[in-house]
Amino acid sequence: MILDAAVRVFARDGFHTSRVGDVAVEAGVAHGLLYHYFSSKDELLTTIFRETWDSLLRALREVETSREPAPEQLRKVCAIVLRTWKREPDLVRVLVREVARSPQLGREVNEIAEAFAAIERLVERGQARGELRAGPEPRLAAVIVYGALEEILTGWVLGQLPDGDEDVALAEEAVVGVICSGLAAVPVQTTLSA
Amino acid sequence: MILDAAVRVFARDGFHTSRVGDVAVEAGVAHGLLYHYFSSKDELLTTIFRETWDSLLRALREVETSREPAPEQLRKVCAIVLRTWKREPDLVRVLVREVARSPQLGREVNEIAEAFAAIERLVERGQARGELRAGPEPRLAAVIVYGALEEILTGWVLGQLPDGDEDVALAEEAVVGVICSGLAAVPVQTTLSA
Amino acid sequence: MILDAAVRVFARDGFHTSRVGDVAVEAGVAHGLLYHYFSSKDELLTTIFRETWDSLLRALREVETSREPAPEQLRKVCAIVLRTWKREPDLVRVLVREVARSPQLGREVNEIAEAFAAIERLVERGQARGELRAGPEPRLAAVIVYGALEEILTGWVLGQLPDGDEDVALAEEAVVGVICSGLAAVPVQTTLSA
Amino acid sequence: MILDAAVRVFARDGFHTSRVGDVAVEAGVAHGLLYHYFSSKDELLTTIFRETWDSLLRALREVETSREPAPEQLRKVCAIVLRTWKREPDLVRVLVREVARSPQLGREVNEIAEAFAAIERLVERGQARGELRAGPEPRLAAVIVYGALEEILTGWVLGQLPDGDEDVALAEEAVVGVICSGLAAVPVQTTLSA
DNA sequence: AATGAATGAGTTTTCATTCAT
DNA sequence: TATGAATGAAAACTCATTCAT
């Protein structure tokens, strides 16, 4: 299928660097055919993003609306994001490298913001319920969680982190551990004095 | 200077979208002159990256070799990275948007790995000295810290996070707080049971 | 056809002087189309050379494997080479002016060596059979024959030798005459005494 | 010296392919300096040609006006041309590859024509005196001699012919032998019957 | 649906040449 | 003499996109 081919090619070469012809070759069709299904190269990327992000968002919202305690919800969020890697590595590659920080993809940013917002609400509610420490801004906390997850994915994408099944479980645990319990051996004074 | 002009132009228009001629105009020179100093458009980006990263690395190493306790070192690392935004916003824009997803320039470049390694060593030593909690893998902890910082920078670059002076201080505090003390209100069981 | 257009343009303007666009105009297509069929301007020249040379080689081999006496074979070789001028003057122009002195395309190309080798074998066999004088090294004899032919073609290309039909026949006869019978009125002592 | 450097560079890379900067580097001077001595890249080539060709022409004329028999004169011509290779290989390379058949060098062609003319007169006189066989057109004979010599030089330039001291002597002998006595074992009928 | 030849605007890159110093 | 920064015309080449078949 053409979209799958596009995902593979964009994952391998990067969106800007890869040519429409490369996608066609990978898909085993003439490049003219792409234009029956997609109006432009950009639409390929947009479509990949949209078809994928929705299902991620749905999963996040499901977690968000569950009755579980916030730390457990956070754990689930990490699991959802990180486990995608094993199932769809190329997709993750593209989402992480091309879509997430491409300014020209404009409105899609809104949908990414949705993911942030879901995590943000989750943190907010956790703090309100006393399940999470009240200090950190929910928004920033969400950004930190997202960044940590994305960076681990990037490490896998670039082959700089081991990604065996146990490694994935380990990473999940590490993120949850660090984000929830912190790295400090003893409670630290977190007010910046510099 | 040509490199500065390149940073401004790439920050404004994106690397792929901007033309060599634009950089020349911004620098106030003929485009041919660029090729006296840089062998290609790509080399412009590479050079921007390397010159910046070198100074970042030097700063990280300085922190690493200081005698301060690990949590304080972590705080300094966060400060160094995040404060770059105010000093050199265009540079950060370019690094976040272009370098992070350039396949060829990619992270394979040793220099990025160096930054990870520095943080990793910092965590390792902190754990050895009992200043940091021993659970999380140093490598993963480093990735998480780096990801959190990069994502905050990304939020600023994309205008999705407020970046007033107080916001920057707040972000610093939040990262240190989350990374060091965790989000949890009470110590949590971090062993994954899924 | 694009290659024919290229031959005409290169013959008219010289390879280095003519632009890819000129070839496209001559062929009546957009210049971009050239790059569907040839990866570069150089490949145009290379292809012209190879396609031509192949047919020349085939002709030479046919002569070589004929049962005729070597002098007759030599005569045929001369005829083949020299008569190309009348049939395909532009092609000869390009080969003489561009290929013969292109460093990269150079003679290193096996194909040219093949032509020499064919003549060399022809001479060798002729000497073995007693049809040709045994003195001269076959290799050198081949070089001399080839050089004489190429120089006559060059004379025609540069307009320094008359090339009417009778002139061509005359040239053929002259080469065969000189090469086979020599210029000397009486047998000369050929051992160099300097 | 700049001209020597130019000869080396043109010999190595070809005139069109080599850049003025290459010549400057080879000469160990700034490329701007070239323009104090030569008004253009073309003038470099022209100058090389002129400074060299004159001495060749003088040598040829000296042979021509000697009282020796024509075969001996021919032998001397061959010696002059071929022995240049050992003394000035790069120069020969340039003359053979770039100058000899470059149409744009326009008027210099006249000077090349002089060389042909000298050999032509030599042959003519030889035939008139009965020292050379009367059949072949003097003009064509000159072209053949010149072509044979050039091709041998080319063989040396391209490393396809051995060029040890004995090889050079052998080549000289071969050219003289073939040109004067012919390749034929027995006198052949040279009238073309095809 | 499918092909792939054809287009051409848009870019990077090259390099001879100039000129202030 | 000598330098090398600076110029800019000129070219090669790319590639998304169109369209006849």
In this prediction, residue A153 carries a pLDDT of: 86
In this prediction, residue B183 carries a pLDDT of: 67
144-183 in C: which are within 8 Å (CB) of D?
Answer: 144, 146-152, 154-155, 157-158, 160-161, 169-183
d(C-alpha B30, C-alpha B21), whole Å: 8
Predicted TM-score (pTM) of this structure: 0.86
Distance C11 CA to E10 C1' (A): 30
CA distance to D46, D103, D113, D146, D177, per residue, from D109 (Å): 11, 8, 6, 14, 29
Class of domain B44-182: mainly alpha
> Could you state, in chain order, the average pLDDT of each consecutive group of 10 residues for chain C (194 residues)?
95 93 96 95 93 93 94 95 96 88 62 91 93 90 94 92 95 90 60 42
Q: What is the mean pLDDT of residues A88-94?
A: 85
Residues of A in contact with B69 (CB under 8 A): none
Question: Would you state the structure tokens that stand for residue B126, as one six-digit string?
Answer: 């902190």
The torsion of the CA quartet A63, A64, A68, A72, rounded to 10 degrees, works out to: 70
Q: What is the mean pLDDT of residues B88-103?
A: 85
At B93, give phi and psi (nearest 5°).
Answer: -55, -50
pLDDT in tens, A42-86: 999 999 988 888 888 899 999 999 999 999 999 999 999 998 888
Considering only residues D145 and D89, tell me which one the structure prediction assigns the higher pLDDT.
D145
Point out the residue among B96, B170, B176 whose CB comes nearest to the CB of A101: B96
SS3 content of chain D, % helix, strand, coil (to 5): 75, 0, 25
Average pLDDT, chain A: 86
C143 to D131: CB separation less than 8 angstroms, yes or no = no
At D131, give phi and psi (nearest 5°).
Answer: -85, -20
Q: What is the mean pLDDT of residues D185-192?
A: 50
Q: Which of the residue ranges B163-167, C129-133, C148-152, D21-25 would you say has the lowest mean pLDDT?
A: C129-133
Q: Is the CB of A17 under 7 A from strand E?
A: no
Percent of the residues in chain A that have a pLDDT greater than 90, as a whole number: 51
DSSP chain C: -HHHHHHHHHHHH-TTTS-HHHHHHHHTS-HHHHHHH-SSHHHHHHHHHHHHHHHHHHHHHHHHHS-S-HHHHHHHHHHHHHHHHHH-HHHHHHIIIIITT-TTTTTTSHHHHHHHHHHHHHHHHHHHTTSB-SSS-HHHHHHHHHHHHHHHHHHHHTT-S--SHHHHHHHHHHHHIIIII-SBSS----S---
CB atoms within 10 A of CB B40: 11
d(C-alpha B92, C-alpha B81), whole Å: 10
Considering only residues D78 and A181, tell me which one the structure prediction assigns the higher pLDDT.
D78
